[in-house]
Amino acid sequence: MEHSEAELMLKGYGLTTAELFYRMPDFQNVLNSYIWQEYDLAPDHPKLFEFIEFWQDEIEGPLHSVRFTHRKLIASGEWQNVVGEFKLH
């Protein structure tokens, strides 16, 4: 079931951005980078580690290193549904 970004953020997900450095299969001295972004749960980062496992199983370019950052955009305590109407003039 697909969830909207707002629903994921309210459930505690944050935006995880990872930069994967990998070696070219035919040119082992050349490093390339790949940027990956997904909403994920910290501190375990299950989606990130699932992607890294996929890379190691399916992609020919061996990983050199991975660096990532995680940022919660909103927390459930920061948002509340307000019903009301204000009339000016």
pLDDT tens digit sequence for 38-88: 999 988 999 999 999 999 999 999 999 999 999 887 655 555 666 776 666
Residue range of the domain that includes 42: 5-74
The rounded distance, in Å, linking the Cα atoms of 68 and 35 is 10
> Cβ neighbours of residue 29 under 8 Å, at least 6 residues apart?
23
The rounded distance, in Å, linking the Cα atoms of 31 and 77 is 42
Residue 80 within any structural domain of the chain = no
Query: The sheet that has 63-71: what strands, in order across it?
Result: 31-40, 14-23, 63-71
Whether residue 46 is preceded by a cis peptide bond, meaning omega within 30 degrees of 0, is no
Residue 60 within any structural domain of the chain = yes
Q: How many domains does the chain have?
A: 1
Confidence (pTM):
0.75
- Residue 81 is predicted with a pLDDT of 66
The rounded distance, in Å, linking the Cα atoms of 41 and 24 is 30
Per-residue pLDDT band at 36 (split at 50, 70, 90): very high
Residue 10 within any structural domain of the chain = yes
